[in-house]
C-alpha cells in the first residue's frame, strides 16, 4: 500500500515505521526536527516490540510538500485539536479509493474528518498501546494493553477494505482487528483515557500509582460512572454491562498492564503545550450538558488541567 501518516509523532512513527518495514511505501508528515533526524539516521523504534531501524521512509514537514500520488491509506495521528486542519490539508491528495483513518484520542475526531473527506472514506481507530518520544528520530513502545481496532463510524466504508487494512497492520507487527462496532471501542478508550490522563498530568505520576490510593481510585470511579451515564443517554452501549464491571477491568488488568506509563498529557503540560483535555473529559462534560446530565468530576478535571496548562505556559521561556 501507499500510505501517508499525517502528524507523525510518537504513535504515528510506530505505525509508519512498522508498515514501511513490512514493505509498504510510507510517507511521514511531522515536525521538522523529527523528520530531519529520520532522513539522516533512519527511524529508530525501541521498547517492548523490539529494536527496529527503518530507513525507507519519505519525510515531509507539510502535506503541501508532497507530490501528487495515488494514496491507498492516510493515517491521521495528530492531536485532536489539529484534526480539522490535518483533514483539510490532505484533501487534495485523496482519490475516491483512499481510506482516511483516525488514530487519535478522544471524541469527535472521526466526525470532524468525515465532514471534510466524506463518510465513505473515513475509518475510526482505537489504539491502546503507549509510545514515548525519546529524541528526534527515536521512539519507544512502552506498554501494550489491547489490539488496535478499526471500523466505520457509519457503516459506509466497505468492511472488507477495513479487514484488509487491519490484516496489513497485523502482518506488520501491530496487533489489529476490524470491527463493526467502533463506537463501542472508542468510548472504551475514552473511559481509560479520562480516568488516567488528567490525574497522571495533574499529579505527575505513572498510571500504576493512581490505583494505589483510595482518593485517586474514588475519582476514577466517579469518572467511570459519569461516562457510562452520558454514553447511555447518547444511545451508545458500552462494551461492559456496568460501571462496576469496567472499574474491575481497569484496576485489575488495564492499569497493571500499563503501570509504568506516563500520560502524553503530562509530557504536554511539562513542555508548556496544549493538552487534549477538551476531547476527553471536556467532551464528556459538554455531552453531559447537551443531554441534561451533570458531570462534576469530569468538568473539574478539565478545569484543573486547563489551569495547569496556563501555569506551565507561563514558566516557558520566550
Secondary structure tally for the chain: helices H, strands E: 13, 12
Give the pLDDT mean for 266-274.
92
- Tens of pLDDT, residue by residue over 47-68, are 999 999 999 999 999 999 999 8
- Note the pLDDT tens digit of each residue in 132-146: 999 999 999 998 888
pTM: 0.93
Q: What is the pLDDT of residue 314?
A: 67
For the chain, list the domains and their CATH numbers.
Answer: 2-180 (3.40.50.720), 184-315 (1.10.1040.10)
Residue 316 pLDDT > 80: no
Handedness of CA 269, 275, 278, 283 (dihedral sign): negative
pLDDT on residue 318: 45
Q: How confident is the model at residue 295 (pLDDT cuts 50, 70, 90)?
A: very high
Q: Which of 189, 234, 273, 313 is flagged as catalytic?
A: 189
Q: And the C-alpha cell for 108? A: 469527535
pLDDT at 286: 98
Query: What's the confidence (pLDDT) of residue 118?
Result: 97
pLDDT band at 258; cut points 50, 70, 90: confident
- Give the DSSP per-residue string, 56-116: -EEEESSGGGSPP---SEEEE-S-GGGHHHHHHHHGGG--TT-EEEE--SSSSHHHHHHHH
- 175, 153, 193, 22 alpha-carbon torsion, rounded to 10°: 20
Average pLDDT of span 192-208:
97
Tell me whether residue 308 is one of the annotated catalytic residues.
Answer: no
Asked whether 144 and 121 are in contact (CB, 8 A), the reply is: no
Between CA 221 and CA 248 the distance in angstroms is 10
Element (H, E) at 52: strand 52-54
Torsion angle, alpha carbons of 160, 164, 166, 168, to 10: 180
The mean pLDDT of the chain is 95
Answer whether 66's CB lies under 8 Å from 88's CB.
no
Alpha carbons 272 and 135: distance in angstroms, whole number: 18
Q: Interhelix angle for 214-233 vs 182-203, to 10°?
A: 150
Amino acid at each position: 500500500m501507499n500510505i501517508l501518516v499525517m502528524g507523525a509523532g510518537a504513535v504515528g512513527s510506530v505505525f509508519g515505521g512498522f508498515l514501511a518495514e513490512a514493505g509498504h511505501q510510507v510517507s511521514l508528515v511531522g515536525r521538522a526536527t523529527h523528520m530531519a533526524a529520520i532522513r539522516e539516521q533512519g527511524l529508530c523504534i525501541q521498547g517492548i516490540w523490539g529494536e527496529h531501524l527503518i530507513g525507507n521512509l519519505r519525510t515531509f514537514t507539510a502535506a503541501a510538500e508532497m507530490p501528487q500520488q495515488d494514496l491507498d491509506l492516510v493515517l491521521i495521528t495528530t492531536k485532536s485539536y489539529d484534526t480539522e486542519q490535518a483533514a483539510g490539508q490532505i484533501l487534495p491528495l485523496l482519490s475516491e479509493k483512499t481510506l482516511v483513518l483516525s488514530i487519535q484520542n478522544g471524541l469527535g475526531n472521526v466526525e470532524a474528518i468525515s465532514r471534510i473527506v466524506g463518510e465513505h472514506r473515513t475509518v475510526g481507530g482505537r489504539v491502546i498501546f503507549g509510545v514515548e518520544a525519546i529524541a528526534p528520530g527515536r521512539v519507544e513502545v512502552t506498554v501494550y494493553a489491547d489490539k488496535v481496532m478499526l471500523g466505520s463510524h457509519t457503516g459506509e466504508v466497505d468492511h472488507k477494505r477495513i479487514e484488509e487494512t487491519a490484516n496489513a497492520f497485523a502482518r506488520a507487527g501491530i496487533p489489529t482487528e476490524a470491527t463493526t462496532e467502533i463506537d463501542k471501542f472508542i468510548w472504551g478508550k475514552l473511559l481509560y483515557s479520562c480516568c488516567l490522563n488528567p490525574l497522571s498530568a495533574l499529579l505527575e505520576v505513572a498510571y500504576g500509582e493512581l490505583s494505589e490510593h483510595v482518593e485517586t481510585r474514588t475519582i476514577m470511579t466517579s469518572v467511570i460512572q459519569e461516562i457510562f451515564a452520558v454514553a447511555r443517554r447518547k444511545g451508545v452501549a458500552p462494551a461492559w454491562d456496568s460501571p462496576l464491571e469496567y472499574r474491575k477491568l481497569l484496576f485489575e488488568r488495564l492499569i497493571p498492564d500499563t503501570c509504568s506509563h506516563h500520560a502524553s498529557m503530562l509530557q504536554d503540560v511539562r513542555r508548556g503545550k496544549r493538552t487534549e483535555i477538551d476531547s476527553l473529559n471536556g467532551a464528556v462534560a459538554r455531552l453531559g450538558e447537551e443531554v441534561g446530565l451533570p458531570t462534576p468530576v469530569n468538568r473539574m478535571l478539565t478545569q484543573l488541567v486547563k489551569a495547569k496548562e496556563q501555569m506551565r505556559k507561563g514558566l516557558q521561556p520566550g
